Amino acid sequence: MLRVDSLALAYGATPVLEGASLEVPSGKFVSLVGPSGSGKSSLLRAVIGLQQPLAGVIETDIGAGDIGMLFQDDALLPWRTAEQNVALGLKLKGVAAGTAIASARQWITRLGLYGLSERFPRELSGGQRKRVALAQVLAREPQLILMDEPFASLDAIVRARVTQDLVRLVELRGISVLLVTHDLEEALALSDVVYLLSHGPRARISGRYEVNLPRPRDVIKARSHPDFAPLLQRLWNDLSREVGERAA
């Protein structure tokens, strides 16, 4: 479980977040949506320890080694092959080199990259690189994954496939997820809970939405569920109000 309470963040003298609170219960998929610049990515960076909060509490019963992070950019080491990139995550967790490589190969195959183990990142497509980055995180068997719009740069078909694979694995292994996204439909299709962040500066959580769609979930079919459209409408209206109030 991850609990963020009254979190305040700033970039230099510019306040970004103020009093932001949310919870990611064990095994739940939680999304955070909000206007651009509201501090969504900063919140994730604070949780993983890349940014120091000004105030507030970040509590979790999960060890640092069991939290994975997927960035907007795949950020794979260009001088390492796909297999070495995946194995690196394991080696840094203390797994022996031989075991790490064997496990990396299994994860690469599991994520549909069979035969691409020896390729360098530049020799892979955008979707394949995302899968390698996902394999790198999943191979470590994390209990919580933080995702900062990891699939934003992918085309619609590849994005649907990669997210479906992710949801399948997350559901199967009971992994908790905190996803930051601009895409409201994606947030609802994937999540159990969606938080709405108000417009910055001094952004705060302005809404919480329970998504009671059945699991295991098909990320495409979920969008045609009768509960989906009303929820999307509500979320859209609230986000529009946030942006509108700011513009006014």
Partner 1 sequence: MNPNTAWLRKTVALVILIGVWEACADLGYFDPLYMPAPSKVAVALFQLFAQGTIWPHLIATFSAALGGLVVGLVVGTVLGAVAALTPLVGELLAPVMISLNAVPRVVLAPLFVIWFGIGVGSKVALAFILVAVLIFFTVFTGIRDVDRRLVERVITLGGGRGALLREVYGPSVIAWILGNLKVAVGFAFTGAVVGEFVAATKGLGYLLSFAQSSYNAALMLALVVLIMGFVLLLFGLTGLLERRLLRWRG
Q: Given the rule CB under 8 A, which residues bind partner 1?
A: 48-50, 64-65, 68-69, 71, 73, 75-80, 88-89, 92-93, 120-123, 136, 140
| CB 142, min distance to partner 1, A | 11
Query: What DSSP character marks residue 203?
Result: B
Please name the amino acid found at residue 124.
L
In this complex, which beta carbon is closest to partner 1, that of residue 34 or of residue 68?
Answer: 68
In this complex, which beta carbon is closest to partner 1, that of residue 64 or of residue 247?
Answer: 64
In this complex, which beta carbon is closest to partner 1, that of residue 94 or of residue 226?
Answer: 94
In this complex, which beta carbon is closest to partner 1, that of residue 93 or of residue 168?
Answer: 93
| CB 245, min distance to partner 1, A | 33
Note whether 1 and 149 are within 8 A (CB).
Answer: no
Q: What residue has token string 């919870």? A: 23
Note whether 222 and 160 are within 8 A (CB).
Answer: no
| CB 93, min distance to partner 1, A | 6
| CB 94, min distance to partner 1, A | 9
How, if at all, do strands 2-11 and 55-60 pair?
antiparallel
DSSP 67-120: EEEE-SS----TTS-HHHHHHHHHHTTT--HHHHHHHHHHHHHHTT-TT-TT--
| CB 65, min distance to partner 1, A | 5
| CB 76, min distance to partner 1, A | 8
What are the strands of the beta sheet with 2-11, ordered from one edge? Answer: 14-24, 2-11, 55-60
How, if at all, do strands 205-210 and 193-197 pair?
antiparallel
In this complex, which beta carbon is closest to partner 1, that of residue 89 or of residue 127?
Answer: 89
How, if at all, do strands 176-180 and 14-24 pair?
unpaired
DSSP lists the bridge partners of residue 148 as: 180
In this complex, which beta carbon is closest to partner 1, that of residue 50 or of residue 54?
Answer: 50
